[in-house]
Amino acid sequence: MNNRKIVTLLSLLLAALLLVSACAPAAAPAATAAPTVTAAPAAEMPAAASKRTITDMAGRTVELPEKIEKIATFGSIGVLNAFVELMGQGSKICNDMSASFTKTDKWAMQYQFAPQIKGAPVFENGNEIAIETVLQTEPDVCFAMTKDTVEYLAKNGLNAVYLSWTKPEDVKAAVTLMGEIFGEQDIAKDYIAYFDKIVAEAASLTADITQKKNVLYGSVTEFKQPHIIAEWWIKQAGGVSVTDNGRGDEALTYTLEDLLKWNPDVIFLSADQIADIKKDDKLKDITAVKNGAMYVVPTVAHVWGNRTVEQPLTILWAINKLYPDVMPADKLKEEIRYFYSHFFLYEMNDEQIAKIIG
């Protein structure tokens, strides 16, 4: 094959190659990295508030929040506040005392133990509950000592706990329940041990007294003994209650004839009626009146003569009035100071204690 043919053949091959190259698809551009997409975190749902259940003194199951920030008290406010304050929870009470309590300065110490209640919402007017005010305040737990009140509050969606106190030993059950509600079981056990210790000490102090004094408690001008618990603490203090007839009712009314027949050696008054009693000629020959042995039972967190966690102090105070030789004022003073400092976390000054002792 001559050179001319070779060149021609090479030219044809080159042309074919160029044609094939022109018809081939364009090369794909270099791949770029795909953008990174970060998924947004799912919105966190608020954790459901932790709940727990307790059984109140009516056998009712009550669901409560794990953490209690607001406490409401109804009816026997002084008694219930005292229970709360004993547990060191007084700063959480969210309602003021009702008008029936605040019409005098008798309850002034409540505003020392729980100062935030002054000017707080009032939940009751007489026997009527201001339910709208209660619901707006949103208490975490409500305490009452009547089943009707508890059921009414529960029907309105509130966490209502029933406390009962009809017998002396009920105070221990109530304190134990409060300890469970607030997670303060140690305080409850400490108080119960103190309660038992004072009762035992009182029995020892009065064991050798042979001439025990006859005692009347309550309202002499109304001829009424208002609380059966007084029959118990008078006996623990070494006295003989003239109204202790084995009754089961909370209150007892009597007559002038009964009073003159009983002729008590000492009268413990639930409110100050001493001036009125002294002016009544019909009462002037009663031994307690003649001797000036009439004493107004203190009101601190509550009226000591009625149902109150302060009952151990009631016993010691009564011994001091009945038999001052076995319970001198100085010893009583120290017990009062210890009790409120230890349980209520409140330091009584000398003037306050002197007023309590009377």
What residue spans in the chain does CATH classification 3.40.50.1980 cover?
51-183, 187-357
| Average pLDDT for 195-218 | 97
- Whether 283 shows a pLDDT value over 90: the answer reads yes
pLDDT value of residue 47? 52
pLDDT value of residue 98? 82
Which residues are registered as beta bridge partners of 62?
54
Asked whether the beta carbons of 142 and 153 are under 8 A apart, the reply is yes
Average pLDDT along the chain: 88
| Average pLDDT for 29-45 | 42
| Average pLDDT for 20-48 | 43
What would the CATH number be for the domain defined by 51-183?
3.40.50.1980
| Average pLDDT for 139-157 | 97
Asked whether the beta carbons of 262 and 268 are under 8 A apart, the reply is no
pLDDT value of residue 358? 87
Q: Write down how long the chain is.
A: 358
- Whether 16 shows a pLDDT value over 80: the answer reads no
- Whether 31 shows a pLDDT value over 60: the answer reads no
Which is nearest to 106 in space by CA: 348, 301, 281, 338? 301
pLDDT tens-digit series, residues 3-13: 434 333 344 34
**3-state helix/strand/coil string of 113-181:** HCHHHCCCCCCEECCEECHHHHHHHCCCEEEECCHHHHHHHHHCCCCEEECCCCCCCHHHHHHHHHHHH
SS3 69: coil
CATH architecture assignment, domain 187-357: 3-Layer(aba) Sandwich (3.40)
| Average pLDDT for 75-98 | 95
Q: CA dist 337 to 25, 82, 198, 332, 350, Å? A: 102, 16, 15, 9, 9
pLDDT tens-digit series, residues 310-336: 999 999 999 999 999 999 999 999 999
Could you tell me the pLDDT band of residue 103, with boundaries at 50, 70 and 90? low
pLDDT value of residue 310? 97
pLDDT tens-digit series, residues 236-273: 999 999 999 998 899 999 999 999 999 999 999 999 99
Question: Any idea what DSSP says for residue 40?
Answer: P
